Amino acid sequence: MKDILKSEKHFRYMMLDRMRQDCEYYLNYGSRSAKVLWAGDEKRHIQNMKDIWNSFDENDKPEWLTVEEIDEFARKMGVK
Question: Which of these, 34, 59, 39, 58, lies nearest to 49 by C-alpha position?
Answer: 39
| Per-residue model confidence (pLDDT) at position 29 | 96
pLDDT for res 66 = 97
Using CA atoms, how far apart are residues 22 and 58, in angstroms rounded to an integer? 25
pLDDT, residue 80, reads 81
pLDDT beneath 50: ranges in the chain? none
